[in-house]
Amino acid sequence: MSDGIWCVIPIKDLVNAKTRLAPALTPEERKKLFQAMAEDVLAAAAGAVGLAGILVLTNDPSASELAKRYGARVEGEPENIGQSEAVERAARLLKEEGAEGVLTLPADVPLVTSSEIDSMLARHPKTRPAMSIAPDHARRGSNCLVLTPGDLISLHFGHVSFEPHLAEAARVGVVPNIIEDLIGIAIDVDTPEDLARALEVGRDSGGINYVRSNGIAGRISTLQS
């Protein structure tokens, strides 16, 4: 079905992912960790009862196969397209098909749970138009956006996107609903410091279990000491 709110997850190239983890992880480890984290996000979305569907944006064959295992719809994208443009394109497509809105998540939040996704949806304003936003732990990035309609604002994903998204909400006359108590959404993993923070939470996930079982956690601890 197309109506309701869809989860949109961009998954970029698995092979060349997470270069900022290079001080602690080999290229193969980075690939496997990113794939495990992407699966964590897909599993959480698949288990959320409030979503109308899942749309994964990727040109990576392995990511496409992984997404389909979780019942996700897969759409390719033009080469070198950025995250913002990709999600905006997906939002327009879903709106044309009758979707009420989108909830977008990155593929690198390994601690996210189905209940956190359902909490975002349950706390999203019933009035329309509306925007809910969950920033990262540093209040710099935007780790989850719920937009109704899905093309409500222009997107500015990147290292600093939280304030730009608040400015976009103000521009269209919408008071943003800021949600900051969902730790699984708040922690995205880009750097060794991020990975150390995720490990400290003590929550199990495929990505975290991969790090614990392959000696990476000890390496991260040494780097942080």
Range of lowest pLDDT (1-10, 44-53, 97-106, 146-155): 1-10
Residues 181-185: contacts with CB within 8 Å, 24+ apart?
A: 182/112, 182/116, 182/119, 182/120, 182/134, 182/144, 183/111, 184/44, 184/109, 184/111, 184/112, 184/113, 184/116, 185/105, 185/109, 185/112, 185/116, 185/120, 185/134, 185/143, 185/144
pTM equals 0.95
Tally of residues, the chain: 225
More confident residue, 206 or 82: 206
- Strand locations in 36-185 (E): 53-57, 73-75, 101-104, 130-135, 142-148, 177-178
Angstrom distance (rounded) from CA 109 to CA 177: 21
pLDDT of residue 159: 83
Q: What is the pLDDT of residue 180?
A: 97
At 1, the pLDDT band (50, 70, 90 cuts) reads very low
Distance CA 85, CA 2 (A): 21
Beta strands in 31-181 (DSSP E): 53-57, 73-75, 101-104, 130-135, 142-148, 177-178
Which residues have C-beta within 8 Å of that of residue 150, sequence separation ≥ 6?
Answer: 6, 8, 90, 91, 92, 94, 95, 99, 101, 102
Element (H, E) at 18: none
The fraction of the chain above a pLDDT of 90, given in percent, is: 85
Q: Distances from the Cα of 128 to the Cαs of 42, 46, 65, 85, 100, in angstroms? A: 27, 25, 35, 23, 10
Domain count, the chain: 1
Residue 156 maps to which CATH number? Answer: 3.90.550.10
The stretches of 134-224 forming alpha helices (DSSP H) are 162-171, 183-186, 192-201, 206-213, 216-224
DSSP character at residue 151: T
What does the pLDDT average to over 93-111?
97
Phi/psi at 53 (5° precision) = 175, 175
Over residues 143-167, mean pLDDT? 97
Which residues constitute the domain of residue 217?
A: 5-224
φ/ψ (deg, to 5) at 75: -125, 135
Rounded to the nearest angstrom, the gap between the alpha carbon of residue 157 and the centroid of all alpha carbons in its chain is 11
Each residue's pLDDT tens digit, 62-98: 999 999 999 999 999 877 678 999 999 999 999 999 9
